Structure 1
């Protein structure tokens, strides 16, 4: 169980994480540079080269990047724990798709993203305590 202030910090951190990780997907140009960076990273680690992505793959990567950027900004602007519950549901689904991709032979670099997704999904799925402990509430209940 998490207290409200801890829960709020977690879902705000998750929104900032999403902004940091997904902005390269938002435009064809940034995605091209990012994909090249990932390919070079693969080569430096001795992994197989990444495949060329067809135009529709780039289009859907851009859709993904744009939607997640907007969703992240909404979560940062509208301070509502209910949004974190929806985000947790999305993270469970994204985790399932990542597991499927790994099973199909996707890059082992995906494990790092999967661990973070599952971590945020678990934290944002936890129950929220009715109130935070504070010296004032402790004095009232004593």
Structure 2
């Protein structure tokens, strides 16, 4: 007499793997967007310095110095007090954590959300420029638009 045993349970997917079963393929939104990770690395490099009040103050000082050294028109970044630095550091921390999530999980769903965020960030930068902000903002705007376009193309390809 043979004894039948139940098959061993299939291990749960790892954290970087989309959940799939033998009957279903990963959703289009779970597909990876190759340039999504690169955009996240860019964000990490640019924003990690804004993640503490002390490093944010130093970077804002550099922006003011660049504005003055280049003799740019417009209003330079003002010196921030403790409350402004707190909000700057909170935003820097949030964007840094969001970048780390996208580096780990460059799925079309997350990259699509980020691309929408890039559109919003670009709109706020254009608004700042139109109301007199220093042209130093143009450097940030150019990369925001570039990564928005590249990621948008990547998401569109992933969803095909």
In the TM superposition, 1:42-57 aligns within 5 A as 42-47=67-72, 49-57=76-84
Which residue of 1 is the match for residue 28 of structure 2? none
In the TM superposition, 1:55-74 aligns within 5 A as 55-74=82-101
2:148 aligned to which of 96, 121, 131? 121
CA–CA distance in 2 between the matches of 1:25 and 1:92? Answer: 20
Single out whichever of 72-81 and 51-60 deviates more from structure 2: 51-60
User: Which one scores higher on RCO, CA 8 angstroms, separation ≥ 6?
Assistant: 1
In the TM superposition, 1:102-141 aligns within 5 A as 102-126=129-153, 127-128=156-157
Kindly tell me: are residues 52 and 129 of structure 1, through their superposed partners in 2, closer, same or farther at Cα, counting changes over 3 Å?
closer
Q: Please tell me the root mean square deviation across aligned C-alpha atoms, in Å.
A: 1.8
CA–CA distance in 2 between the matches of 1:72 and 1:27? Answer: 16
Task: Name the one with the larger helix percent.
Answer: 1
Aligned residues: 125
Q: Secondary structure of the equivalent of 1:29? A: helix
1:17 aligns with 2:42: yes
Kindly tell me: are residues 9 and 50 of structure 1, through their superposed partners in 2, closer, same or farther at Cα, counting changes over 3 Å?
same
* Residue segments in structure 2 that go unaligned for 5+ positions in a row: 1-31
TM-score (norm 2): 0.71
1:35-75 Cα offsets, whole Å, 9 max, x none, are: 11122212211136532223322121111100000000000
1:79-133 Cα offsets, whole Å, 9 max, x none, are: 31211000001000000100111111111011111111112112222311578xx
CA–CA distance in 2 between the matches of 1:14 and 1:54? Answer: 31
TM-score (norm 1): 0.79
1:31 aligns with 2:56: yes
Give the number of the structure whose alpha-carbon radius of gyration is greater: 2
Q: What stretches of structure 1 move > 2 A for 4+ residues in a row?
A: 47-50
